[in-house]
Structure 1
Amino acid sequence: MNIITACRPKPPLLIAFVIFLSACASSPTPRYFRLAVPTEVAVTPDQGANGRAVIVGPFQLAEYLDRPQIVSRDGANGIIVADYERWAEPLDASFQAVVTANVGRLLGSDRVLEFPATTILKADRRVTGRISRLDVDAGGLAVLVVQWGVLDGAGEVARPGSVSRYEARATDEGVAARVAALNATVMEFSADLAAALR
């Protein structure tokens, strides 16, 4: 009898177990977002660039951005990591892919490829850089700060490195609108990069 009684779950433990199960059952489902190429991009045939072969990347991420969760700015020094709002793929890979596609379409060229395409394309130009900021603040202002430069086929500097900053305002407080604003900053950078490659 004593053995049977000792094996029965005690009410406080049972209650704690039920609470734990209910908490697990009510956890939000993660939502996934990605940067994207705009459906309408003004195309200028790549006559000025003489059909140069361009390799875009790699782009290095600031450490605070190198995570699957979407990061927002909280004041001057704080960040908020959204546990249930995530990037669908690594942000550096997504950024590089979108910039490559944007620049290719802006130049009207099919010779703009992503790093590491050096094995299949002898590049006339190579773009590299570092993303030091890509986030949205509490007021819905999206900011991209990127250090970038252009090398020639021999690895020499074709365009000196510089730091560029881009801003766009989210249309509402939703995450989709914030990602769209970030996407707009990436498009602006792509346009400047395409102009530098002409």
Structure 2
Amino acid sequence: MIRKYLYLSIIIFLSGTMCGCIGGTSQKSVYYVFSASRNLSTVQSLIGDRGLGVGPIKIPAFLNRPQIVTRQGQNLLSINEFHRWGDSLEAQITGVLVENLSTLLNTPNISIYPWERPFLPEYQLYIDFRRFDGKTAESVTLDAVWWIVDTNNDKRLLTRRSSLVESTHGDGYKAYVIALNTVLEKFCQKITDGVIDVLP
């Protein structure tokens, strides 16, 4: 008899738990995207018809996922299931780079790798992101090695490393994504300065 009531109690408990899961309110995911900057100063067009290809770019594998990844410490990461990228992080970074560089260099002749004919850029930009993350309510860091190659002879014209830090200016993931967007804009300015230095 005791065993019978014990089984009945377990069944009632499980039924109540399942009803609570089914009837409970689930947290909705929030999706974020980067945007090209609107307040960029242009320079005299240096690329002209020669073209600049952007990519391949490389980002740390742990960042290239749908969930937004933040740091909790030097060796500790946080992956949030409910704050996600609206598109792949790599695709968003590349897209913003092309849009911003097109404005900064005053040319439409910039394309994302791999490009299709008839577009054959004379110059190609490679980027290896070492860091593109940070802590919410604190700051984000962009650390990247990048180089420009003359595609006519595969000669490397320039190699630089850029390390930039941007405050989040607020709490939460919205402020965090805005800070990443801002530091990416500043990185585009560094690339523009490099193009000015090496292109005739």
User: TM-score band, normalised by the shorter chain?
Assistant: 0.7 to 0.9
The alignment status of 1:34 with 2:55, answered yes or no, reads no
| C-alpha RMSD of matched pairs (Å) | 2.1
**Distance in 2 of aligned mates of 1:118 and 1:169:** 38
Given residue 134 of structure 2, which amino acid in structure 1 is its aligned partner?
Answer: V
Question: Which of 86, 90, 104 in structure 2 is aligned with 1:106?
Answer: 104
TM-score, normalising length: structure 1: 0.86
Query: Where does the alignment leave 5 or more consecutive residues of structure 2 unmatched?
Result: none
Given residue 66 of structure 1, which amino acid in structure 2 is its aligned partner?
Answer: N
Cα 1:121–1:23 change in 2 (3 A) is same
- The equivalences for 1:181-192 within 5 A come to 181-192=179-190
Bigger Cα displacement from structure 2, 175-184 vs 20-29: 20-29
**Distance in 2 of aligned mates of 1:13 and 1:163:** 62
Q: How far apart are 1:11 and its partner, in Å?
A: 4.6
Correspondence for 2:43? 44
Given residue 27 of structure 1, which amino acid in structure 2 is its aligned partner?
Answer: S
Correspondence for 1:196? 194
The alignment status of 1:90 with 2:88, answered yes or no, reads yes
- The equivalences for 1:6-17 within 5 A come to 10-17=8-15
Cα 1:123–1:11 change in 2 (3 A) is same
Structure 2 residue matching 1:182: 3-state secondary structure:
helix
Q: How far apart are 1:93 and its partner, in Å?
A: 0.8
Question: Which of 60, 78, 81 in structure 1 is aligned with 2:79?
Answer: 81
Given residue 79 of structure 1, which amino acid in structure 2 is its aligned partner?
Answer: L
Q: Deviations over 1:4-28 (max 9, x none)?
A: xx9xx94523432442343353321
Instruction: Check conservation: 1:55, 1:118, Cα contact below 8 A.
Output: no
**Distance in 2 of aligned mates of 1:98 and 1:132:** 18
Bigger Cα displacement from structure 2, 92-101 vs 56-65: 56-65
Correspondence for 1:56? 54
Cα 1:162–1:195 change in 2 (3 A) is closer
Cα 1:145–1:188 change in 2 (3 A) is same
Correspondence for 2:63? 65
The alignment status of 1:125 with 2:139, answered yes or no, reads no
Given residue 41 of structure 2, which amino acid in structure 1 is its aligned partner?
Answer: A
**Distance in 1 of aligned mates of 2:19 and 2:79:** 25
Cα 1:155–1:176 change in 2 (3 A) is farther
Q: How far apart are 1:77 and its partner, in Å?
A: 0.9
Q: Report % sequence identity.
A: 19
**Distance in 1 of aligned mates of 2:90 and 2:153:** 22
Cα 1:16–1:120 change in 2 (3 A) is farther
**Distance in 2 of aligned mates of 1:132 and 1:42:** 27
Correspondence for 2:174? 176
**Distance in 1 of aligned mates of 2:143 and 2:193:** 18
Correspondence for 1:3? none
The alignment status of 1:147 with 2:148, answered yes or no, reads no
